[in-house]
């Protein structure tokens, strides 16, 4: 069943399930990327989140080609600021504009729906970066601006630096999941105070919340954990939490994947859950996951299993 629920990121209407594109150009070649993107479009997903650094800059290229004539039907988000090389990094105003032009070219588009500062740059006053981003909005090259990996204090500082009549960050993208609840300690409250959308990345905790990693069982062959990628997450403590979450979900007729998506979307400030996918099957599973309208009692039980301050 196609995704039919949408939420707002500033002026943008985005599907509550989005597609994280960090696998494009890294784990997926151009052909495999096209299949994943087509599956997402078929499922009603309209929000695609990438970055200039993903896949050694290939993610943007592959996404642009895969969207093709469907470009104007979707919301494309990308990011700048993390190091590509010695000359391409940071948030200096002149680089912001260069990075935007580079992303526009790679994405084969004339505009970016949501342009995000990928990480804070302490060497540049945030007001200077915001000024450059505002220029891009006024030039029609960017529709909305956002940030990523910002603390609550940094969000407050950025909002205070916005000049009258200028663009402000409408979203923040930070890691957030049932196994990484740090944003619940301040960032989400700051989003509520500022009217910003929150976009959780790694919503499935690198696959731990899909149910494919179980205690006392070897990880599936060819999985990221099996190949050593982030295998440090396969701790006994994390796997105990996973087993308890699986038991809780199954006792209510759901899967842990459905719990992971539905729990995030129970947060009012969460706009879209951008899980990555390496196959059309994963896209379809993710698109159909937010089916559980958790009650207050169920949310309380989840917090007992995975405490906020654990």
Q: Which of 18-32, 211-225, 234-248 has the lowest mean pLDDT?
A: 211-225
What CATH code is carried by the domain that includes residue 142? 3.20.20.100
For position 224, what pLDDT does the model report? 58
Give the predicted TM-score (pTM) of the model.
0.94
59 neighbors 21 (Cβ within 8 angstroms): yes
In a domain, 219, yes or no: no
**Greater confidence, 28 or 233?**
28
The number of C-alpha atoms within 13 Å of 188 and in the hemisphere containing its C-beta is 19
User: How high does pLDDT run on average in the chain?
Assistant: 93
For position 228, what pLDDT does the model report? 53
In a domain, 106, yes or no: yes
For position 2, what pLDDT does the model report? 73
Alpha-carbon gap, residue 181 to 309, rounded angstroms: 8
In a domain, 78, yes or no: yes
| DSSP H or E segment with residue 97 | helix 93-107
Q: Which domain holds residue 29?
A: 6-206+261-293
Annotated active-site residue in 54, 95, 111, 115? 54
54: annotated active-site residue = yes
In a domain, 310, yes or no: no
Total domains in the fold of the chain: 1
pLDDT at residue 182 greater than cutoff 90: no
- Confidence band, pLDDT 50/70/90 cuts, at residue 213: confident
In a domain, 244, yes or no: no
In a domain, 149, yes or no: yes
- Confidence band, pLDDT 50/70/90 cuts, at residue 243: very high
Report the side by side order of strands in the sheet with 197-201. 197-201, 169-175, 142-148, 112-117, 75-80, 47-49, 17-20, 273-276
Partners of residue 180 on adjacent β-strands: 177
């Amino acid at each position: 069943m196609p995704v039919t629920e949408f939420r707002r990121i500033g002026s943008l209407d985005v599907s509550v399930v989005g597609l994280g594109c960090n696998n494009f150009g890294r784990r997926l070649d151009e052909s495999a990327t096209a299949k994943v993107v087509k599956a997402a479009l078929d499922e009603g997903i309209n929000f695609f989140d990438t970055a200039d650094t993903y896949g050694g800059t290939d993610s943007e290229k592959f996404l642009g080609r895969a969207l093709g004539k469907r470009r104007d039907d979707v919301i494309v988000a990308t990011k700048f600021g993390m190091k590509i090389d010695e000359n391409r990094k940071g948030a200096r105003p002149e680089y912001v504009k260069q990075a935007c032009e580079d992303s526009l070219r790679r994405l084969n588009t004339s505009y970016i729906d949501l342009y995000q500062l990928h990480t804070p740059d302490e060497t540049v006053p945030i007001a200077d970066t915001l000024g450059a981003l505002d220029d891009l909005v006024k030039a029609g090259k960017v529709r909305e601006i956002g940030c990523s990996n910002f603390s609550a204090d940094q969000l407050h500082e950025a909002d205070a630096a916005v000049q009258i009549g200028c663009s402000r960050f409408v979203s923040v993208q930070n890691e957030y999941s049932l196994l990484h609840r740090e944003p619940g300690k301040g960032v989400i409250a700051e989003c509520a105070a500022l009217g910003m959308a929150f976009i959780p990345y790694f919503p499935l905790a690198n696959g731990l919340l899909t149910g494919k990693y179980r205690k006392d069982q070897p990880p599936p062959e060819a999985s990221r954990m099996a190949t050593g990628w982030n295998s440090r997450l396969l701790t006994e403590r994390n796997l105990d939490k996973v087993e308890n979450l699986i038991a809780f979900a199954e006792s209510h007729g759901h899967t842990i994947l459905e719990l992971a998506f539905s729990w995030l979307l129970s947060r009012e400030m969460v706009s879209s859950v951008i899980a990555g996918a390496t196959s059309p099957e994963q896209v379809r599973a993710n698109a159909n996951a937010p089916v559980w309208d958790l009650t207050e009692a169920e949310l309380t039980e989840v917090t007992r299993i995975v405490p906020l301050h654990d």
